[in-house]
Amino acid sequence: MRIGVLAFQGDVREHIQAIEKAGGKAMPVKRAVEISKLDGLIIPGGESTTIARFIKEEGLTEPIRAQVSSGMPIYGTCAGLIILARRVENNAVFSLKILDVEVKRNAYGRQRESFEDEIEVEGFETPYRGVFIRAPLISKVGPQVKVLARYQGKPVLVLEKNVLASTFHPELTSDDRIHRLFLSLIDGSKKS
Ligand code: GLN
């Protein structure tokens, strides 16, 4: 199973380690030729404007879209979620428009730039500790989007077919349940 972590900027090493802890294997990827060979791709948190610029410069928009439309699971965390979104409401950045959500960047304001709190995730038996860092807010979800977790009433973990996204950072905790969920999507996509 080849899992790539888009490695221009952000929590790349943390995602690779989290995938390994969850029982998979991942590698950093940067180029279009690498994207087309993947079974799964993670777009990490970081700065969405920076990651978006590299995606455009490297010509990754179409390779990523093509892989996702042929069924490859993709997971975006925080800035990665912004990159996947159909629409970015404020401080618009370029996005791939492969997840039917609208997001607001840096939506929790300066007072609550970074915080942790427990969230209930569908299918998890115990609460999950979400780490939020200058997190975006998902303000609208399309009809095909499944909300797997909410925080203060707003979606924070969503799934639309093979596209998974969270406003929080599971790679910064030792709880590997979200990465295991992503691995199970990849397993499922290879069987079907
Ligand atoms: N605030 C960042 C952005 O808008 C995202 C922060 C993060 O990924 N932790 O790109």
Which one-letter DSSP state was computed for residue 178?
Answer: H
**Ligand 1 site residues, Cβ closer than 6 angstroms:** 45-48, 78-79, 82, 105-106, 133-134
174 pLDDT higher than 80:
yes
CA-closest candidate to residue 167, choices 131, 140, 126: 131
Quick one: average pLDDT of 97-113?
A: 89
- 192 pLDDT band (50/70/90 cuts)? low
Which CATH number is 58's domain given? 3.40.50.880
Catalytic residue among 15, 34, 160, 169: 169
Quick one: average pLDDT of 161-186?
A: 97
Q: How far is the CA of 82 from the centre of ligand 1 (A)?
A: 8
Number of C-alpha atoms within 13 angstroms, CB side, residue 35?
A: 21
Quick one: average pLDDT of 26-49?
A: 96
Q: How far is the CA of 112 from the centre of ligand 1 (A)?
A: 13
Per-residue pLDDT at 9: 92
112 pLDDT higher than 80:
no
Q: How many helices (H) and strands (E) does the chain have?
A: 6, 12
92 pLDDT higher than 90:
no
Determine the structural domain holding residue 170 and report its residue range.
3-191
CA-closest candidate to residue 43, choices 17, 72, 10: 10
According to DSSP, the β-strands at 99-104 and 85-88 are parallel
- 81 pLDDT band (50/70/90 cuts)? very high
Per-residue pLDDT at 111: 66
State the Cα–Cα distance between residues 54 and 141, nearest whole angstrom.
27
**What is the number of domains present in the chain?**
1
Strands (E), 3-144: 3-6, 26-29, 40-43, 74-77, 85-88, 99-104, 114-119, 128-133, 137-141
Average pLDDT, the chain: 95
pTM: 0.96
Q: Which atom of ligand 1 is nearest to the CA of 10?
A: 8
113 pLDDT higher than 90:
no
Q: What percent of the chain has pLDDT over 90?
A: 91
